[in-house]
A = this chain, B = another copy of it.
Amino acid sequence: MCYELYYWPTIQGRGEYVRLALEDAGADYADTARGKGGMAAMMKMLDDNSGTPPFAPPFLKAGSLVIGQTANILQYLGSRHGLAPKAEAGRIWVHQLQLTITDFVAEVHDTHHPIGTSLYYEDQRAPAKKRTAEFWNERVPKYLGYFEQLLSASGGAYITGRKAVYVDLSLFQIVEGLRYAFPKRMKAFERNVPGLIELRDRVAVRPNIKAYLESDRRIAFNEDGIFRHYKALDL
């Protein structure tokens, strides 16, 4: 089966967690909205008033299924491509971790958009500065400290042990994103999460991920995505 991924064609955003899983799995997929007529096709599916219309991108067409919500897509792909544990308890656990990453990603977004997504960053600079300070003082230590602890207790190279799961790929993306958006803050913080940094390095050299990162399928970080670099927010 050839999957069809639908996501905004010029950003990594939330679609990137799905792209990383598809790439690592070596799955056959089209990044539909980046192809000819793809944006029109995506908008048509979002405007569809019948069936199971997604609320927002990303969504994945898998045969007759249309699956929305990043963590939901990953749960579906994970069990089909060896990127999730086989037993139910393990699948529930990695999904739980992915939902915690989802929460963190929303908080990353709100560092530059604390007042609202319909306004420009330039119109919310002052609250963005305050929210970013709170994010780095309180939230980053709490979230990344949690994953660091899990990694040190896992007894293996990855978060659940010996085998990589989709959560490991998402944690790679979190480290990459924080490095891009907040290079100074992240540089100072990394000493607190050595296990997470090692995991990032381990994921980066997985053959399929390495090939993906070197390809033009990997969109560069930019200031339209979730992780945005604004000098004023990076001390």
Contact = CB atoms under 8 A, between A and B. Distances in A.
Interface in A106-164: 106, 110, 114-119, 127, 130-131, 134-135, 137-139, 143, 146, 149-150, 153
B65 A92 contact: yes
A67 interface: yes
Residue in A115, A131, A149 with the greatest tally of chain B CB atoms within 10 Å: A115
Contact of A72 (B92, B118, B135): B92
Copies of this chain, complex-wide, total 2
Nearest to A52: B93
A57 to B, nearest CB: 13
A103 to B, nearest CB: 7
Q: Describe A's contact surface by its main secondary structure.
A: helix
Given A99-B72, A110-B110, A146-B55, A130 B153 contact: no
A114 B117 contact: no
Contact of A114 (B50, B52, B100, B127): B127
Contacts of A54: 96
Contact of A127 (B52, B89, B127, B149): B127
A119 B49 CA distance: 41
A202 interface: no
Nearest to A146: B55
Interface of A: 49-50, 52-55, 64-65, 67-69, 71-72, 75-76, 89, 92-93, 95-96, 99-100, 102-103, 106, 110, 114-119, 127, 130-131, 134-135, 137-139, 143, 146, 149-150, 153
A-B pairs with lowest CB-CB distance, top 8? A116-B134, A69-B99, A55-B100, A127-B127, A118-B138, A69-B96, A114-B114, A68-B96
